[in-house]
A = this chain, B = another copy of it.
Amino acid sequence: EGDDFERVKQEMVMPPLVPVHDQVAKGGPKIVEVTLEIQEKKWEVAPGDSVWALTFNGSVPGPLIVVHQDDYVELTLKNPATNSMMHNIDFHAATGHMGGGDISEVNPGEEVVFRFKATRAGVFVYHCAPGGMMTPMHVTSGMNGAIMVLPREGLKDEKGNLVEYDKALYIVEQDFYLPKNADGSFMNLATANESMNEMANSIKTLIPTHIVFNGKKNSLTGKNSPVVNVGDKVLLISAQANRDTRLHLIGGHSDLFWPGGKFNNTPYTDFETWHIPGGSAAAALYRFREPGTYAFVNHNLIEAIAFGAIATIKAEGE
Contacts and interface: CB of A to CB of B under 8 A. Distances in A.
A133 interface: yes
A96 interface: yes
A234 interface: no
Contact of A270 (B139, B200, B265, B289): B265
Contact of A120 (B248, B253, B262, B275): B253
B275 A271 contact: no
A203 B304 CA distance: 12
Contacts of A121: 270
Contacts of A99: 250-251
A273 B260 contact: yes
A133 B306 contact: yes
A269 B122 CA distance: 10
Nearest to A92: B272
Contacts of A133: 305-306
Given A95-B290, A125-B272, A250-B101, A279 B299 contact: yes
B264 A260 contact: no
A205 to B, nearest CB: 7
B272 A280 contact: yes
A101 B248 CA distance: 14
Contacts of A205: 207
A295 interface: yes
Interface in A264-318: 264-265, 268-275, 277-281, 289-295, 297, 299-307
Give the interface residue-count category, chain A.
35 or more
Contacts of A295: 98
B102 A292 contact: yes
A94 interface: yes
Nearest to A144: B301
Contact of A243 (B136, B300, B304): B300
Contacts of A250: 90, 98-99, 101, 129
A253 B241 CA distance: 16
Contact of A272 (B260, B268, B297, B304): B260
B97 A246 contact: no
B257 A278 contact: no
A206 B298 CA distance: 13
A124 interface: yes
Given A122-B270, A136-B306, A273-B278, 5 more contacts: A132-B305, A133-B305, A264-B269, A272-B279, A273-B279
Closest 10 CB pairs of A and B: A279-B299, A96-B290, A246-B277, A275-B277, A136-B301, A262-B270, A92-B272, A260-B271, A273-B279, A120-B270
14 contacts: A95-B289, A95-B290, A102-B292, A129-B250, A135-B301, A136-B304, A204-B307, A206-B302, A242-B301, A257-B260, A259-B271, A260-B272, A278-B299, A279-B299
